[in-house]
Each structure stands twice: as structure tokens, then as C-alpha cells.
Amino acid sequence: MTSSSPIPEVRPEPKGKVPLLEITDLEMRFPISRGLFRAPVDFVHAVDGISFQIAPGESLGLVGESGCGKTTTGRMLVKLQEPTGGNVWFRDADYERDVAAIRGREIKEYRRRAQMIFQDPYESMNPRRTIFDTVSEPMAVQKVGSMPEREGRVLALLRLVGLVPPENFLFRYPHELSGGQRQRVAIARALVMNPSFVVADEPTSMLDVSIRISIMELMAGLAREFRVSYLYITHDLAVARYMCDRIAVMYLGKIVEMGPTEEILARPKHPYTKALLSAVPVPDPAIKRTPVQIKGGISKAINPPPECRFIERCPFAAEVCRTNPHPPLEEKGPDHLVSCYRADEIEELVEIAAAKAEAATAEAATA
């Protein structure tokens, strides 16, 4: 990026099939203190040995329930959290680094290429700084452009994200904007350095339903126009379907299923993914999904046993699940990876369980 660029340049088409991000065995373990002078023996396995890739211009959705490690993963990829293990290879044009190992000034250089949009637009901005100060701050930190050039770039970005006329917003404060307007400012701030990778941590969850679609359309359009890669963190599978090329389903620090969005939604192979999909409301009453009744609440992430993380809640757990370590991700279709020993049987198992539940309900009704 040059200092005089008014808006982000269109990134050239990538050559070959080299991924922008290649994550291998990434982990984050938080120690639980036993006292001031005692070494910790218990650890929260927030992220536990996950591996995936993100191609240039691709959007990968990371879905799962609260506490599964989605946000921690995103924070590690932009160096807001130091991983305790694994590698994060970032390859962009003439830049190639293991992000997990960079320190000091190298982090500042990396932040030109990777940014984050936070979940809460009310908490992610300094209330004492104007919109111009907020959006131009990355340029000031990186010492990019003169003051007139920064002002021109901020104006162009505010117009790009739909805050028009931008001159009316330039010297306002965050409390003078609505939630949707604040999130547009957050998107402009993330794009001001023309990054090639953005972590979007549930950017629409704090917004009214009426304005969520406009923010999603904006982000999708910017991704297509400037070939920005997203890691899109969300609870909402409908949002993931709209925004993402691929989906990775996370449970208790592990990725349990990953593949193309439509493939995952049409043919889920993991019991947890099926349970997530069965909980999504269907607007057509004529369409019925086969429910998957998982048991109990989410397991504890403190020193988890080596077996499958989902075993305590899985209605289809068998002896093979109890006597073997957590299953590796295995390909069960084109680019469709599943971490389950019984993935090939899952459709039949769900139908049998549904038939038994229906028969029990009918029997109870006639009793």
C-alpha cells in the first residue's frame, strides 16, 4: 500500500494454490493457578491442536457454542493472544512468516496484513476519540501518509462502508452513532491498512436484526471486491451460510467437522453438527428435520480426557469411542473432513433414534 492511496487497491489474483494462512496443531492452554509459589498442574484446553487452511479471498466460518474456543482462535491468528503451541504460517506476496513465532517489531509489520473486527461496537472504540481518530489510528501507528492523505483515505473508506456524506461523520464521537453505524466504522478501521486477512468476531450479533443483513452484504461485497480473506466467527449457521465458502464446526477446543458450506449443511456427518442444524428453526411447517437429542451440558475444558471430546453428550457413543483417543479429521467426501469414528453410520443411527423416539411418544399417547 502506498501512502497516497485513497482506497484499498484491488489485490492481484493469487498464483497457484498456496494458502494465505496455514494453521497446524494450534493450541492455547490457560494455566489454573494453585497459589503464588506453586506451579500449575491444571490447564484449560481452550484450543487443542487444531489445523486448517484459508485460501486468498476465501471466507471460513468458525461455528460452535459459547466456550468452544472460537474467539481465542481468532485472537491468536492476529497476535492478540500468544499460542502455547503450533504454527500459523502466513504467506502473502513477498511476506512469509510463522506468525506464532514473531515478536516485537515483526508483530507491527504483520498488523498491516491482518486485522480484527470485534463483536461489540459499543466497547471496541474509545469514547473520547472522534471517528477520524479511530479510523486513522492504524495509519498513525504505522506512520503511513501525511495528515491530508490520511484524511482523504478515511473519507474514502467511510463512503465505501456506507457512511455518507462522510464529512458529516468525520469528527463525531462514538456515542453520536447508532450500533450499525459504529460497526461500519469498525469495518473501515479494519480495512484502512488494506489487510489481506480479517478476523470477524460475530460482527452482527450485537446489532438489530433489521440492520444485520446490510452489514453482511457490506462485508461480503468488500471481500469480493478487494479479495480479503475472512475468518468469520459466529453462532448463527444462517449467517455462516450467507457469508462463508467453508465452515469449520468447533467443539470444546477441537474442530469436529469442516468442509464446503453447502456440503456441511446438506450432509452433516458429525452428531454435534447434526444437533446444531436440528436446532435451527425452519420457516416451512411442512418441512421436518430429524432431531438429534444430545445429552447434558458442555463438558469441562480443564484437563479433558484423551477420548472423543463429545463422548459424554453423544447419543451414538460406542465402545470404539471409549477405548480410542479423540478421532482425527478424516475425509468423508470432497474436502469434507469429519472427526468421528461412526461418521459413516450417522445417517442410519439418527433415523433409528428418531423412529424409537416417535414410537415411544405414540405409545405414551395411547397409554
Give the CATH number for residue 186. Answer: 3.40.50.300
Give, in order, the Cα–Cα distances in Å from 353 to each of 291, 294, 313: 9, 11, 15
Both 43 and 62 in one domain: the answer is yes
Both 223 and 280 in one domain: the answer is no
Both 217 and 115 in one domain: the answer is yes
Both 303 and 235 in one domain: the answer is no
Asked if the structure places residue 8 within a domain, the reply is no
Both 234 and 189 in one domain: the answer is yes
Asked if the structure places residue 1 within a domain, the reply is no
- pLDDT confidence of residue 367: 65
Asked if the structure places residue 7 within a domain, the reply is no
Asked if the structure places residue 3 within a domain, the reply is no
Both 295 and 192 in one domain: the answer is no
- How far apart CA 47 and CA 53 sit, in angstroms, is 16
Q: How many CB atoms lie within 10 A of CB 208?
A: 10
Asked if the structure places residue 285 within a domain, the reply is yes
- pLDDT confidence of residue 115: 95
Both 275 and 205 in one domain: the answer is no
Both 45 and 191 in one domain: the answer is yes
Asked if the structure places residue 359 within a domain, the reply is yes
Asked if the structure places residue 13 within a domain, the reply is no
Q: What is the pLDDT along the chain (367 residues), one digit of tens a residue?
A: 444 444 445 455 544 468 999 999 999 999 987 767 777 888 999 999 999 999 999 999 999 998 899 999 999 999 999 999 999 999 988 899 999 999 999 999 999 999 999 988 888 899 999 999 999 999 999 999 999 999 999 999 999 999 999 999 999 999 999 988 999 999 999 999 999 999 999 998 878 877 888 888 889 888 888 889 999 999 888 899 999 999 999 999 999 999 999 999 999 999 999 989 888 877 777 777 777 778 777 778 899 999 999 999 998 999 999 999 999 999 999 999 999 999 998 888 877 777 777 777 777 777 6
- pLDDT confidence of residue 7: 46
Please give the single-letter amino acid code of residue 61: G
- pLDDT confidence of residue 171: 94
Give the domain-ending residue among 244, 273, 303: 244
Give the domain-ending residue among 218, 244, 270: 244
Give the domain-ending residue among 215, 244, 273: 244
Both 213 and 68 in one domain: the answer is yes
Determine the structural domain holding residue 75 and report its residue range. Answer: 21-244
- How far apart CA 6 and CA 157 sit, in angstroms, is 8
Q: What's the order of all strands across the beta sheet hosting 85-92?
A: 42-54, 21-32, 85-92, 95-98
Please name which of 119, 354, 127, 326 lies closest in space to residue 232, comparing C-alpha atoms. Answer: 119
Question: How is residue 349 written as a grid cell?
Answer: 443411527
Asked if the structure places residue 15 within a domain, the reply is no
Both 190 and 298 in one domain: the answer is no
Both 89 and 117 in one domain: the answer is yes
Both 144 and 237 in one domain: the answer is yes
Question: How is residue 73 written as a grid cell?
Answer: 482462535
Strand pairing category for 197-201 and 229-234: parallel
- How far apart CA 284 and CA 355 sit, in angstroms, is 22
The tally of CA atoms less than 13 A away on the side-chain side of residue 344 is 4
What are residue 231's phi and psi, to 5 degrees?
A: -105, 110
Number of domains in the chain: 2
- How far apart CA 83 and CA 277 sit, in angstroms, is 31
- pLDDT confidence of residue 110: 95
